[in-house]
Copies of this chain bind each other. A is one copy, B any other.
């Protein structure tokens, strides 16, 4: 594991690391923000999963999250969104292949060898973080768009592992929208029964833990009607009695200006759960 960026930020350090991932069979980068409190105490970790086309840089340069992480004493970890490198298969278009791992473990070729972002985010990355940084076992998870999908499904499938979960503009029902149908079809094959384990809306009915979901959604989001459809998640939560706070925000779109405007409230939400649960 090698540190390749190290920059003072809000009294702490915004770092980027590179490491050889066994799970993904390639070199990966992830970002870590260590707030000033990390000099003298173990802190909980909020994992952030980014959306289509992103890498580990988008969140740390555009969301303005470090200010709030420093205020609340939370470490932020932001991985890349897919395996990387010349040996990794890719596809034309921005919504499949590199930058579009969809937080699944692919079963179909040519994807199955490297595209194992679910396993990477659930297992390998936290193990690396917990072995190398001053962290408690308090974990929260959040993300944007494809990463919001990732955060929701990962929390739903791993009871007890996360104390808090939230999402911005998530793809809540990938099995029912074009982005998800394309990606899940390619990575998992045509049998749609294999898709349900990577679909938050489909997972709600039998979720083994009723961890509350916080979802932030802009009403002027250009993908709201075609790809995001938060009403599908709401209906599933109502049917199952799963707690959901869905905040619809008039005027806001899909961009980082939206995330920046509300990331402070999300970090406060996670910090409260991580502190009380600690």
A residues lining the B interface (CB < 8 Å) = 7-11, 14, 61-62, 64, 66-67, 218, 220, 249, 251-253, 255-258, 260-261, 264
Least Cβ–Cβ distance between A196 and chain B, in angstroms: 34
- Nearest chain-B residue to A7 (Cβ)? B257
* Assembly CA distance A194 to B211 (angstroms): 68
Contact present for A64 and B260 (CB under 8 Å): yes
A257 touching B9, Cβ below 8 Å: yes
**Closest chain B residue, CB of each to CB of A218:** B8
- Identify which of A8, A9, A10, A11 gathers the most chain B CB atoms within 10 Å of its CB: A8
| Given A61-B62, A62-B61, A218-B8, CB of A67 within 8 Å of CB of B260 | yes
19 contacts between A and B (CB under 8 A): A7-B253, A7-B255, A7-B257, A8-B218, A8-B249, A8-B258, A8-B261, A9-B257, A9-B260, A9-B261, A10-B261, A11-B261, A61-B256, A64-B67, A66-B257, A66-B260, A66-B261, A67-B260, A67-B264
Contact A252 B8 (CB under 8 A): yes
Are A64 and B61 in touch, CB under 8 angstroms?
A: no
**A219 to nearest B CB, angstroms?**
9
How many angstroms from the CA of A5 to the CA of B256 in the assembled complex? 13
Chain B residue, CB-CB nearest to A65? B64
Chain B residues with CB under 8 Å of A261's CB are 8-11, 66
**Identity of the chain B residue whose Cβ is nearest the Cβ of A254 in the assembled complex:** B7
What's the least CB distance linking A37 to chain B, in Å? Answer: 16
